[in-house]
Amino acid sequence: MERNTITDYITQNKERVLNELLDLLKIPSISADKKYNADVLKTAEAVKKRLVEAGADMVEISATSGFPVVYGEKIIDPKKPTVIVYGHYDVQPADPLNLWDSPPFEPVIKKTTLHPDGAIYARGSCDDKGQMYMHIKAFELMMKTNTLPCNVKFMIEGEEEVGSPNLGPWIVANKEKLKGDVILISDTSLIANDIPSIDTGLRGLAYMEVEVTGPNRDLHSGVYGGAVGNPINILCKMIASCHDENNHIAIPAFYDKVIDEPADYRIELNNAPFNLDDFKKDLNVDDVHGEKNYTTNERTGIRPTLDVNGIWGGYTGEGAKTVLPSKAFAKISMRLVPNQNSDEISKIFADYFESIAPKSVKVKVTPHHGGEPIVVSTNSAGYKAASLAMTDTYGKKPLPTRGGGSIPIVALFKKELGLDSILFGFGLDSDALHSPNEHYGLFNYYKGIETIPLFYKYFTQLTSK
């Protein structure tokens, strides 16, 4: 596959390829909010249509107990290797809406320091519609230029942002259909546009909700205050006790299964270009925060965490209301690293929280979704193909790094299909995924479309005798 063939095709189709993505971004496919059910389904239809247009066969909207998976394939020769592309067409809720500079589902292109060629501002632009759509366009490119070197199967899901609750069973039910050699995913980040990298691990996740109940009703905080346990005060204290003074998690047994990374690996991770001042500047914080004796890259890459995602209770309306609330709530997530298990950690957390609650309150702990951590070998044909492809298009060999986020289904691909995933991400951590003003660089979008066909080329070469 000639580089020219690729770049010529992209140049000739540049506008259409962008406008199609913009159309996809206009549909608010928020999987977490029932109000948007119809839009999520509409997005699945749109993805299906684009797969058909690009030249895929057997394209279908495959039902699950939740939102469907869009499946499509092109089998050119059963003896050739098969790449399975995974992505998601659902997006995170857009709130807080008032913090967006432009409406989240009306994409606009703006230039920024990190994206001098312009970036598309819209919910899902980076996570994951923009990155997923690069694969459909790269496939189209290979079909139209007669350069597809192997088989390809697409599975694009609609529930990633709510923990993929129905994808595991769908995979198990479709094992035959999902025979392949590697899973290719663009849903992670690069270090920078001039420092290509490939994630070689993702953290797992255990997500909990806690409810602390004090008295049977909201009370006058003067009449009763001081004599009855305030569930918000107590919840805050319980949460605070989860970390010690070194920001190490203080829950017994929490680290029991964590494998400490060897010193040489930590050195390698810390050698990757990273500018702490830029990091702080981007977030407008005067200092970073985290576990003592670990660097920022280690804190997000190889160490587990515990974070409150939301906390509520009592009076939060205008003005002051003197009340001693009956209940307090929090949503707490823990990011997990290799060898930790989300069910075990959920239990360790629940046991701890229940054990430290004073008798003046009752505590209810409910686990939400979870996912297991994964590591990706740099020795596989898939990793090598990804590395060679990026070396061609970026002019530099990509560095192996660790992504701090989670894609829970990746562990299931390994468990159920025996397949490794290649985390071929083209976004930037600073693209504001899940935040207001999410964006995706045009450079990143086109670079992805340019690089993906080379992955197919090298993967086919490396896996054929």
Residues that bind ligand BES (CB under 6 A): 127-128, 160-161, 163, 187-189, 202, 205, 369, 371, 403, 405-408, 433
* Residue 369 contacts which entry, Mn ion, ligand BES, none (Cβ below 5-8 A, type-dependent): ligand BES
Tokens representing 415 are 């468990």
Report how far residue 219's alpha carbon sits from residue 217's, in angstroms, rounded to the nearest whole number.
Answer: 6
* Residue 431 contacts which entry, Mn ion, ligand BES, none (Cβ below 5-8 A, type-dependent): none
Report how far residue 189's alpha carbon sits from residue 301's, in angstroms, rounded to the nearest whole number.
Answer: 13
**Which one, 373 or 405, has the nearer CB to ligand BES?**
405
- State in angstroms the smallest separation of the CB of 44 from ligand BES: 17
Helices 37-54, 129-144: inter-axial angle, 10-degree rounding: 20
Residue choice 39, 73, 127, 450 for contact with Mn ion (CB under 5 A): 127
Tokens representing 212 are 């602390």
**Which one, 313 or 371, has the nearer CB to ligand BES?**
371
**What is the torsion angle, in degrees rounded to the nearest 10, for the CA atoms of residue 250, residue 252, residue 256 and residue 259?**
-10
Residue choice 20, 90, 128, 199 for contact with Mn ion (CB under 5 A): 128
Burial of 68 (0-12, 13-18, 19+ CB in 10 A): buried
Report how far residue 199's alpha carbon sits from residue 7's, in angstroms, rounded to the nearest whole number.
Answer: 26
- Which residue is it, tokens 């660097």? 295
Candidate ranges 6-14, 25-33, 126-134, 206-214; the one touching Mn ion (CB under 5 A): 126-134
- State in angstroms the smallest separation of the CB of 178 from ligand BES: 21
> How big is the chain, counted in residues?
465
Per-residue string for binding with Mn ion, 378-407, x by CB under 5 A?
------------------------------
Report how far residue 200's alpha carbon sits from residue 386's, in angstroms, rounded to the nearest whole number.
Answer: 12
The secondary structure of residue 42, as a DSSP letter, is H
- State in angstroms the smallest separation of the CB of 298 from ligand BES: 16
User: 449, 387 in Cβ contact below 8 A?
Assistant: no
Tokens representing 310 are 């939301």
The secondary structure of residue 431, as a DSSP letter, is G
- State in angstroms the smallest separation of the CB of 326 from ligand BES: 30
Residue choice 157, 181, 187, 372 for contact with Mn ion (CB under 5 A): 187
**Which one, 107 or 214, has the nearer CB to Mn ion?**
107
- State in angstroms the smallest separation of the CB of 398 from ligand BES: 15
Q: Which residue is nearest to ligand BES (CB)?
A: 405
Interface residues with Mn ion (CB under 5 A) are: 127-128, 187
